[in-house]
């Protein structure tokens, strides 16, 4: 492999992957990104032009995707509509991008004989009770809750079918909640950090007891690279770093790290159908492919993330007012 097509490479996790690939491998990268509200050219700033090229376009545009195939050796597919709250307000782009877009890439991979790695989410497995001793594994039945997670589940099933029916060389990974630099301010952690920078109290949905399993975006990137290079075709690998925390704990830590009283947050309307808890068992990835996360200290990762938002206001400021206006309309 020498050139990767990274779809959604101007988004949060995709751009972190592109930076990771440039710093840690010899691969060149073509980013295919529609630059929706969630995509940002500036997320690719500082990368060498000789190794990274941005193509602005839609993954559901079959002719465009086809035209890029001769130039690439493998596809790493991050592009998606990614935010649960948006999927509750308007599911339509979720179906188009997550399902039809993935279908379009699979067909291109099939026609051109290209390797494809599909990025997915732990949300396809639904949620767990707070006291359930089990965590999600590759054998957990699919049970998605939201329009977002159901379209991601649909895209995973398409990938599995294209492997079995057409011999497409694909792998899938399902990762837990990522944090780190360049995440859109609509998401939980950046929303609270940027609220505090603006002197606004953090907003907790409901009682704040929902649990997410946090992983640093760089650990997600190293796992994806490992699967791309060493994963068995047709297999699914779960990615997680044993980072379970409830939302209240995370908000209290952000407040403390930003010099505020840990209880100075507000409760706002809960998300309809809000998944209670996600938790990943990543034994397969660790034992079969030898992967291990490097960011074991959430507090220090969060401190760096807070510093990034403080230092990069020009990156997030243009998104902030519109995002908060949207939340205000649903009492969140
Ligand atoms: P994001 O919303 O930050 O970025 C998505 C990117 O995809 C944006 O750059 C956007 O412009 C682009 N895009 C959207 N529709 C497109 C289209 N039709 N054609 C081309 N580009 C398009 O999302 P993210 O949080 O970085 O998530 C990336 C991937 O990782 C998604 O597939 C998501 O399901 C998955 N994932 C996310 C998390 C998480 O915690 N954020 C965890 C597990 C898996
Ligand atoms: O688990 C992986 C998933 O993680 C990814 O597939 C999704 O793309 C990604 O967006 C994320 O989904 P969540 O719904 O878990 O993330 P979000 O950042 O929206 O919310 C995290 C938790 O925080 C969730 O329990 C809702 C809560 N929340 C969110 C916001 C924006 C709040 O309490 N207050 C808020 O203001």
In the chain, where the domains are located: 3-183+215-241+275-296
Coil, helix or strand for 160? helix
Q: What is the structure's pLDDT at 70?
A: 98
pLDDT at residue 181 above 80?
yes
Condensed to tens digits (0 to 9), the pLDDT of residues 267-300 reads 999 999 999 999 999 999 999 999 999 998 999 9
Q: How far is the CA of 309 from the centre of ligand 1 (A)?
A: 20
Closest CA to 82 of 160, 161, 18, 10: 10
Q: How far is the CA of 276 from the centre of ligand 2 (A)?
A: 11
Structure tokens at 179: 């944090």
- What atom of ligand 1 comes closest to residue 187's alpha carbon? 41
Per the annotation, the verdict on 81 as an active-site residue is no
- What atom of ligand 1 comes closest to residue 60's alpha carbon? 18
Site to substitute for ligand 1 among 10, 12, 147, most atoms within 8 A of C-beta: 12
CA distance 66 to 110: 11
Q: Which ligand is nearest to the CA of 13?
A: 1
176 lines ligand 2 (CB under 6 A): yes
Q: What is the mean pLDDT of residues 244-249?
A: 98
Closest CA to 303 of 246, 245, 256: 256
205 lines ligand 2 (CB under 6 A): yes
- What atom of ligand 2 comes closest to residue 123's alpha carbon? 1
Helices and strands, counts by H and E, the chain: 12, 13
Closest CA to 17 of 155, 166, 220: 220
Q: Which residues pair with 5 in a beta bridge?
A: 30, 75
Q: Are 241 and 297 in contact (CB under 8 A)?
A: no
Coil, helix or strand for 33? strand
Q: How far is the CA of 259 from the centre of ligand 2 (A)?
A: 24
Condensed to tens digits (0 to 9), the pLDDT of residues 54-109 reads 999 999 999 999 999 999 999 999 999 999 999 999 999 999 999 999 999 999 99
8 lines ligand 1 (CB under 6 A): yes
Q: What confidence category does residue 240 fall into, taking pLDDT thresholds of 50, 70 and 90?
A: very high
Question: Among the options 148, 237, 265, 309, which is catalytic?
Answer: 148
Closest CA to 159 of 167, 149, 170: 170
Q: Are 91 and 144 in contact (CB under 8 A)?
A: no
Q: Which CATH class is domain 3-183+215-241+275-296?
A: alpha beta
Per the annotation, the verdict on 270 as an active-site residue is no
**Number of C-beta neighbours around residue 79 at 10 A:** 28
Condensed to tens digits (0 to 9), the pLDDT of residues 19-42 reads 999 999 999 999 999 999 999 999
Q: Are 149 and 143 in contact (CB under 8 A)?
A: no
Q: What is the structure's pLDDT at 1?
A: 77
Structure tokens at 188: 């939980």
178 lines ligand 2 (CB under 6 A): no
Closest CA to 76 of 1, 187, 161: 1
Per the annotation, the verdict on 186 as an active-site residue is no
Question: Among the options 28, 85, 123, 186, which is catalytic?
Answer: 123
Q: What is the structure's pLDDT at 281?
A: 98
102 lines ligand 2 (CB under 6 A): no
CA distance 274 to 39: 25
Q: Are 45 and 90 in contact (CB under 8 A)?
A: no
Condensed to tens digits (0 to 9), the pLDDT of residues 102-140 reads 999 999 999 999 999 999 999 999 999 999 999 999 999
231 lines ligand 1 (CB under 6 A): no
Place of tokens 């009770």: 129
Q: What is the DSSP letter of 199?
A: T
Q: What confidence category does residue 178 fall into, taking pLDDT thresholds of 50, 70 and 90?
A: very high
Structure tokens at 79: 């592009």
170 to 64, 74, 227, 283: CA distances (angstroms) = 21, 10, 10, 20
Q: What is the structure's pLDDT at 243?
A: 98
Coil, helix or strand for 7? strand
**For 300-316, b where at least 16 C-beta lie within 10 A, e where not — what string?**
ebbeebbebbeeeeebb
């Amino acid at each position: 492999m020498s050139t990767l097509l990274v779809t959604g490479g101007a988004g949060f996790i995709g751009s972190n992957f592109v930076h990771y690939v440039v710093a840690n491998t010899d691969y060149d990268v073509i980013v295919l990104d529609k630059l929706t509200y969630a995509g940002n050219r500036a997320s690719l700033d500082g990368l060498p032009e000789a190794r990274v090229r941005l193509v602005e376009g839609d993954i559901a545009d079959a002719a465009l995707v086809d035209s890029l195939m001769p130039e690439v050796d493998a596809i790493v597919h991050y592009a998606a509509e990614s935010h649960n709250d948006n999927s509750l307000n308007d599911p339509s782009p979720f179906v188009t991008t997550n399902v039809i877009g993935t279908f379009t890439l699979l067909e291109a991979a099939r026609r051109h004989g290209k390797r494809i790695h599909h990025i997915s989410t732990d949300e396809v497995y639904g949620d767990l009770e707070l006291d359930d001793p089990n965590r999600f594994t590759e054998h957990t039945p699919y049970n998605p809750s939201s329009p977002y997670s159901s379209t991601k589940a649909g895209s995973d099933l398409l990938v599995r079918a294209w492997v079995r029916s057409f011999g497409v060389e694909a792998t899938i990974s399902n990762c837990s909640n990522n944090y780190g630099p360049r995440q859109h301010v609509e998401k939980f952690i950046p929303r609270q950090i940027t609220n505090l920078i603006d002197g606004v109290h953090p907003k907790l949905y409901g009682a704040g007891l929902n649990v997410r399993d946090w992983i640093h975006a760089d650990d997600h990137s190293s796992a994806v690279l490992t699967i791309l290079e060493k994963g068995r075709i047709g297999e699914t690998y779960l990615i997680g770093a044993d980072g379970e925390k409830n939302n209240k704990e995370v908000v209290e830590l952000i407040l403390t790290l930003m010099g505020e009283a840990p209880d100075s947050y507000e409760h706002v309307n809960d998300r309809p159908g809000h998944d209670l808890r996600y938790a990943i068992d990543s034994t397969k990835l660790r034992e079969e492919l030898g992967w291990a996360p490097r960011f074991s200290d959430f507090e220090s990762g969060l401190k760096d993330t807070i510093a990034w938002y403080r230092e990069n206001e020009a990156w997030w400021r243009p998104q902030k007012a519109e995002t908060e206006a949207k939340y205000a309309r649903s009492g969140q």
